Structure 1
Amino acid sequence: MSELTKKRPEFRNINALSDLPTYRLPAAGWVSILHRASGALMFVLMPFIIWMFDTSLSSEFSYERFTSAFGAGIGFVPGWFIKLVALALIWAYLHHFIAGVRHLYMDMTHSVTKEFGKSSATVTLVLSIALTVVLGAKLFGLY
């Protein structure tokens, strides 16, 4: 090994306080972790999802109550917070769906090269964030 090439760090016993801040996770690692986090978020917020679905479809009165919750809020919870939770659910669904399609495609085509993993992970991250921004703009009334 020449003096010009920098020796890559080896992480054998990772110390969370000193090693993790300097560890650079590749895009595929972020997609994998966020896929799990988005699934957990959707699972934890399942009662909110069921409430939104039930309230929006039960009757005209409940639909009016549902839409006013996003503007005026419910009880002590302000409307912007409900919109923020809905935006988190939108991101969780979009990311989980796109990452799931990515995993299924990789499984079906045996596309497990490092290059494809990196490019498809980047596409997954960009697509899920871009779609969330577009739908978030609609949710917050920007268009």
Structure 2
Amino acid sequence: MRKERPKNLDLSTVKFPITATASILHRVSGIIVFIALAIFLFILNCSLSSAQDFQLVQGYLDTFIVEFVFWGALTGLAYHAVFGVRHMIQDLGYWEEMDSAALSAKVGFAITAVLSILAGVLVW
């Protein structure tokens, strides 16, 4: 006997809890950090190959797009670190209830916002 279940195909109506959003963004920030690491290692390799390449890389580092990538990578790293600590605390058995988990996610977002602003000051 097959039961017909209602289907909601309009994904714009789905509302994730803040804890789910924090968890998904933690995974996304891990991917961002991984890709940024590859970019930074490539830039480091180019800058160490010769004096001319070092001057070329130094010139690229003053462009807005590269500064924006650096800021994004630092923000992603800050988010990943803050929420990684949050996940480790949850693994120890704390903040597992929905209310405390939601509060810790909000605090994590606030800390990440402050660190993102500080990264912007550092980069620009």
TM-score by length of 1: 0.70
Aligned to 1:83: 67
2:82 maps to which of 98, 104, 108: 98
Q: How does 1:1-143 map to 2 (within 5 A)?
A: 13-15=7-9, 18=10, 20-54=11-45, 58=48, 61=51, 65-71=56-62, 79-140=63-124
Q: CA deviation at 1:66?
A: 4.3
How much does 1:40 deviate? 1.1
Residue 40 to residue 116, structure 1, CA distance change in 2 (3 Å): same
Higher helix share: 2
Q: CA deviation at 1:68?
A: 3.0
| Alpha-carbon displacement from aligned partner over 1:85-105 (angstroms, at most 9, x marks no partner) | 111111110111111000001
Inter-partner Cα distance in structure 2 for 1:27 and 1:134? 24
- Most deviating of 114-123 and 38-47: 38-47
- Give the RMSD, CA atoms, in angstroms: 2.4
In structure 2, what is the Cα distance between the partners aligned to 1:134 and 1:47? 23
How does the TM-score come out when normalised to structure 2? 0.79
Show structure 2 runs of 5+ residues with no match: none
- Indicate the SS of the match to 1:13: coil
- Over 3 Å counting, the alpha-carbon distance change for 1:12 and 1:107 in structure 2 is farther
Contiguous gaps of at least 5 residues in structure 1? 1-10, 72-78
Matched positions, count: 118
8 Å contact from structure 2 (residues 95, 104) kept in 1 = no
